[in-house]
Amino acid sequence: MNELAGKRIVLGVTGGIAAYKAAELTRLLVKAGATVDVVMTEAATRFVSAMTFQALAGRDVWTSLWDGDQRGMAHIDVTRGADAVLVAPATADFLARLTHGMANDLLTTLCQARDCPLLVAPAMNRQMWEQPATQRNVAQLAADGVTILGPTAGEQACGEIGEGRMLEAQQLFDALVAFLQPKPLVGKKVLLTAGPTFEALDPVRGLTNTSSGKMGFALARACAEAGAEVTLVAGPVCESQSSWYANKRIDVTSALEMRAAVLTALPGQDVFIAVAAVADYRPAAAAEHKIKKGAQTLTIELVANPDILAEVAARPDAPFCVGFAAESRNLAEYAEGKRRAKKLPLVVGNLVQDGLGGDTNQVTLFDDAGVHPLPAGGKLTVARGIVTHIARLMKCTE
């Protein structure tokens, strides 16, 4: 997927061991269709050679104020027409010089002379990160409009463990893609549900479904990319499923737990997107101990679970509500019927064979204006299309 096709990124690299991650980031950016101009400090070249970045980017690498033509304007020329400057790694020294407006090498000078957004990915020893001076510098940069990516906690090159480790190349790539997306939902608060629910029969068994939560997580990310503040209520999904883009994540198991979490988080929300495949029924009573094999047949009494979406949509102060209809047949009939019955402005319908549990999806949007099929694609791509439609219906503009 050429997510950055036509974009031009200036990648600044300073002198830290995390510079090796910048090489992988360069590869990811180029693969995604971006043009990458790499600017290295003299110290950075002690960790990774300029030739490495030149080979990966397919372009000359900038290392000096005197690079380029005889005009001596590299500090201005490099960023003209760029979509963003990303400095990764950004050392404590670089952050300090940037904060105080210093311009004593090419990278700090072009950061001062740029006319595009600036993002920095701090990387340093945990004690350097914790220093009051560093924290003051980062706070000032954020106040000045610089986007701070990370750092995270983990094992560091010095052998210590703590905060200060630079984000991985893929995380930085994802963050940059998100940063460059249109922002029609800035100022909006979005509450989403994702994944299945699990309704216990006994301590080890239960009723559930094959929802992976991938569509809900993709929509949470797409809403965050669009500028929204996101609260994600997730059923039991794979533990490794990241949700770094959510401002708040609440993990639940059963439909009743999901309902309670939604109603608690609901006040002040502008949008509610009910993506989760909530079980329609649960056992009337869960056995205290494991049910042992015995009789050839077993009768289980089921009772209806609450309809979370219908309950939210019926509130007098209801947010903009979006429902999902996963059907095995008669999609248009059932999806539109659900929309009308619950008085929803939008229902996203799909056939379970087209998306449930997988990495791709094909959906059709149903609203007051009619039926709007979206092209099949990866779930994040589809989610971005859904968010664009939501913003249009809410008359949000970037």
Which of 283, 282, 242, 255 minimizes the C-alpha distance to 193? 255
| pLDDT band with cut points at 50, 70 and 90 for residue 2 | confident
Chain centroid to CA 213 = 14
Measured between alpha carbons, how far is 212 from 189 in angstroms, rounded to an integer?
24
Mean pLDDT over the full length of the chain:
90
Residues in the chain: 398
Neighbours of 64 (CB within 10 A): 13
pLDDT, one tens digit per residue, over 238-271 is: 755 667 788 899 999 999 999 999 999 999 999 9
Confidence of residue 173 (pLDDT cuts 50, 70, 90): very high
Q: Among candidates 148, 157, 154, 94, which has minimal Cα distance to 121?
A: 148
Confidence tier at 363 by pLDDT (50, 70, 90): very high
| The pair of three-digit structure tokens given for residue 327, joined into one six-digit string | 């059907």
Q: Residue for token digits 């990458």?
A: 36
Asked if residue 76 has pLDDT above 80, the reply is: no
Helices (H) and strands (E) in the chain — how many of each? Answer: 14, 21
Task: Tell me the mean pLDDT in the region 98-106.
Answer: 91
Closest CA to 344 of 378, 373, 309: 309
What residues contact 297, with CB distance under 8 A and at least 6 apart?
Answer: none
Do 11 and 37 contact (CB within 8 A), yes or no?
yes
Task: Parse the chain into domains and list their residue ranges.
Answer: 8-180, 189-393
Q: What is the pLDDT of residue 240?
A: 59
Yes or no: say if 78 and 57 are a contact pair by the CB < 8 Å rule. no
What is the DSSP-derived secondary structure letter of residue 243? -
* Helix 214-225 and helix 379-393, axial crossing angle in degrees, nearest 10: 50
φ, ψ dihedrals at 325, nearest 5°: -125, 105
The reply to whether 189-393 shares the fold of 8-180 is yes
pLDDT > 80? residue 336? yes
What is the CATH code of the structural domain delimited by 189-393? Answer: 3.40.50.10300
Task: Characterize 352-363 residue by residue with b for buried, 16 or more Cβ atoms within 10 angstroms of its Cβ, and e for exposed.
Answer: beebbeeeebeb
Contact of 148 with 122, CB cutoff 8 Å: yes
Q: What is the mean pLDDT of residues 72-77?
A: 64
* pLDDT for position 97: 94
Whether 126 and 142 have beta carbons less than 8 Å apart is answered as no
Q: Which residues are catalytic?
A: 158
Q: What is the CA radius of gyration of the chain?
A: 25
For the segment 112-171, what is each residue's pLDDT rounded down to a tens digit?
A: 988 899 999 999 988 889 899 999 999 999 999 999 998 887 776 767 777 788 999 999
pTM above 0.85, yes or no: no
User: How far, in Å, CA of 229 to CA of 352, rounded?
Assistant: 29
Crossing angle (nearest 10°) for helices 132-143 and 92-99: 50
CA distance 390 to 375: 16
The β-bridge relationship of strands 302-304 and 281-283 is: antiparallel
Residue 61 has pLDDT above 70, yes or no: yes
**Which has the closest alpha carbon to 347: 363, 355, 335?**
335
**CA–CA gap between residue 132 and residue 103 (Å, rounded):** 23
Q: Which fold has domain 8-180?
A: Rossmann fold (3.40.50)
